[in-house]
Amino acid sequence: MSTLSFEELNLTPKVKRAIDEMGFDTATSIQSKAIPVIRTGVDVIGRSQTGTGKTVAFAIPAIERVDTHESKVTLQVLILCPTRELAQQACQEFERLTKFKRGINVVDVYGGAPMERQISRLKRANVVVGTPGRIMDHMRRKTIKLDNLKMVILDEADEMLSMGFKEDIETILKDTPEDRQTVLFSATMPPSIMSLTREFQSKPTVVEVNKSKVTLDNIAQLCVDVPMGSKKDALNLLLRYYNPSLSMIFCNTKQMVDEITEHLNQNGFDVDGLHGDMKQSQRTKVMNSFKSGKTSILVATDVAARGIDVNNIEYVFNYDIPQNNEYYVHRIGRTGRAGKTGTAITICSGRRQVSVLQNIARSVKSKIGIIDIPNVDDILKKSAELQAEIIESSLSAKVADKYTDMVQELVDKGNDAQRIAEVALQLLFGKEDKKLVEVKSERKAKSYSSSDFGGGYQKICISIGRNHRVAPNHIVGAIAERTNLSGKDIGKIEIFDDVSFVGIPSKVADKVVEDMAGCKICGRPTKTTLVEEKNRQRKDSFRKPKDKSKSNYNPRKGKSGNRGYYHK
């Protein structure tokens, strides 16, 4: 099945208007296949990789399923996501799609946000997007009721299970009506997913996209780490050094698009900006100029760049770190098309942004190399070589008589021809040299890949334990919601009566402690501290407790043992 246009999908007028404003024209493969099937009301399994546009694939049928004429507002659609970032992203997508449609109230709920505000907003919600742990919290408080639920969507189901949310998901689904529609999206189909579908779905229809369409193999992925405040100068240097004939620069906000466009124009580049505040006539003019090659650099936000179909983009620059993995894939996928190769360079500032990029690399199973910022001398040398080629290729061309007469007149006055040529070249090319500002790389060139957490694990202590009926999946879920770690990154968990110890990659342990401040687990406020271990030599995990007695503690069955113990 080929992809369809959104016109062919027969969207309701108000949703179609929203899609047009978002810049979408043609649906992706997963959208073309999934939207018609989900609309029929059957249970669906969607096999889809990151970056295929699956959020819109399930959001449009979900919006159509909501009855906005009910006299009393009730929760009708529930979307479960593994992390707060994905919950926020999905909620934002729903809000964009319902911009012109009244009566649909979407609320996102996740750990780390004020509970009182969420409770207040939930009273008016008929669509809820949330993480399993926080949904369970609201169920216990009876601030979420699932009695009238029509549709449940599990987004990134395999990731949720790997993070330890299996029991929470099962508890949530068991509390929903039997006649609800269950839609599950997952990149992989491990046995745990198949078990979940057998128990909670009825004869599901499988919708799968061609994995070969989502590939980054033709794209060299690189990044630079520069001091805070030097990103604009770094971008200037990168553009001067690589000198792409056609490139895109991505920013997270409209304001930054305007700032970067103005900065680059002032530095002699041919640049246009593209964002949602622009009128359609302006957008069309900018896109036509870029597609025709009249404008060589396009600066855009993620939403504004949707629908751009240009095959000869050489470089993509991430000026701002993408807000999520899906945006990263969408961005860099603008290059390396139609069998060509391309390059994507992300500009980072500081340890935090490099850490975020590491997580992205892990998620998309890529290797992102760190390179040094080109220095001014290298750029000047490369620029001089290019300028010399331009002059040499023009030597055989006819020169206007006035320039020939001018040179002869200067020679007749006793000036040296060599000196005349040097001054002429400086007048022609010298202005560009003054616009270059040296920027030093913060880190030496190396590569970050999905396993780049060198330095082993560091133990943290969380003030909750067996006496509070906590289980490993509660701890994994809380850490995953509060940080950029996934379940795969978290090491051994040891649960004692009143505290629990968790293995965290050493390089990010301090940041995890900071992010976990004020975190509630199982409804209980907790305190997280770093455990300083002397003479710690092991790098893979932590030693098993000397007490080797097996724990039979099960927080759901109420049994207990000497201690809870968990290792992935």
550 pLDDT more than 50: no
Token duo for residue 199: 């128990």
- The second-level CATH assignment, the architecture, of 457-566 is 2-Layer Sandwich (3.30)
| pLDDT > 90: percent of the chain | 37
pLDDT at 98 (0 to 100): 94
Residue with the two structure tokens 């508890």: 171
Domains 13-213 and 219-375+440-448 share a fold: yes
Q: Would you mind telling me the total number of residues written for the chain in this entry?
A: 568
Q: pLDDT confidence of 437, banded at 50, 70, 90? A: confident
User: What is the overall mean pLDDT for the chain?
Assistant: 82
- Is the pLDDT assigned to residue 282 strictly greater than 80? yes
Phi-psi label, residue 258: left if phi above 0, alpha if psi -120 to 50, beta otherwise: alpha
- What pLDDT shows up at residue 546? 42
Is 219-375+440-448 in CATH node 2.130.10.10? no
Q: What is the DSSP code (8-state) at residue 298?
A: E
- How do residues 135-180 score in pLDDT, each as one tens digit? 999 999 999 999 999 999 999 898 888 788 999 999 999 999 999 9
Share of the chain above pLDDT 70, in %: 85
Task: Express each pLDDT in 41-88 by its tens digit.
Answer: 999 999 876 557 789 999 999 999 999 988 788 999 999 998 877 888
* Mean pLDDT, range 289-312, rounded to an integer: 81
Hey, what are 88's tokens? 């926020």
Question: Which of 50-54, 242-246, 451-455, 506-510 is predicted most confidently?
Answer: 242-246
DSSP E strand stretches across 245-308: 247-250, 271-274, 297-300
Higher-pLDDT residue of 553, 112: 112
User: Can you give the pLDDT at residue 42?
Assistant: 97
Q: Is the pLDDT of residue 201 over 90?
A: yes
Average pLDDT over residues 206-222: 72
pLDDT value for 443: 62
Q: What is the mean pLDDT of residues 12-30?
A: 87
CA dihedral 79, 82, 87, 88 (to 10 degrees): 180
Mean pLDDT, residues 222-234 taken together: 89
pLDDT at 536 over 50: no
Which of 317-331, 364-378, 402-416, 481-495 shows the lowest per-residue confidence on average (mean pLDDT)? 481-495
pLDDT in tens, 301-344: 876 665 566 778 999 999 999 877 767 887 888 888 766 788 99
Task: Give 2's pLDDT tier (boundaries 50, 70, 90).
Answer: low
The sign of the CA dihedral 217, 220, 226, 231 is negative
Give the separation between CA 263 and CA 275, rounded to whole angstroms: 16
Average of per-residue pLDDT across 20-49: 89
Question: Tell me: the pLDDT tens digits for 83-114?
Answer: 877 888 899 999 999 999 999 999 999 987 88
Domain 13-213, CATH homologous superfamily name and number: P-loop containing nucleotide triphosphate hydrolases (3.40.50.300)
Query: Higher-confidence residue: 281 or 44?
Result: 44
* Sequence-ordered list of residues with C-beta below 8 angstroms from that of 520, at least 6 positions apart, any chain: 111, 115, 137, 478, 526
Q: How confident is the model at residue 370 (pLDDT cuts 50, 70, 90)?
A: confident
Is 40's pLDDT higher than 60? yes
Q: Where along the chain do its domains lie? A: 13-213, 219-375+440-448, 377-433, 457-566
| pLDDT at position 181 over 90 | yes
Q: pLDDT digit string (tens) for 354-368? A: 888 888 887 777 888
pLDDT of residue 306: 59
Across 221-225, 294-298, 529-533, least confident range: 529-533
Highest-confidence segment of 25-29, 126-130, 523-527? 126-130
pLDDT mean over 218-245: 89
In this structure, the strands spanning 151-154 and 77-80 are: parallel
- Residue 451: band (very low, low, confident or very high) from pLDDT cuts 50, 70, 90: very low
- With contact defined as beta carbons under 8 Å apart, do 273 and 229 qualify? no
pLDDT of 452 higher than 50: no
Q: Dump pLDDT digits (tens) for 473-488.
A: 788 878 877 776 767 6
Q: Report, as an integer, the average pLDDT of 371-379.
A: 82
Beta bridge partners of 8: none
| Closest CA relative to residue 345, chosen from 264, 229, 249 | 249
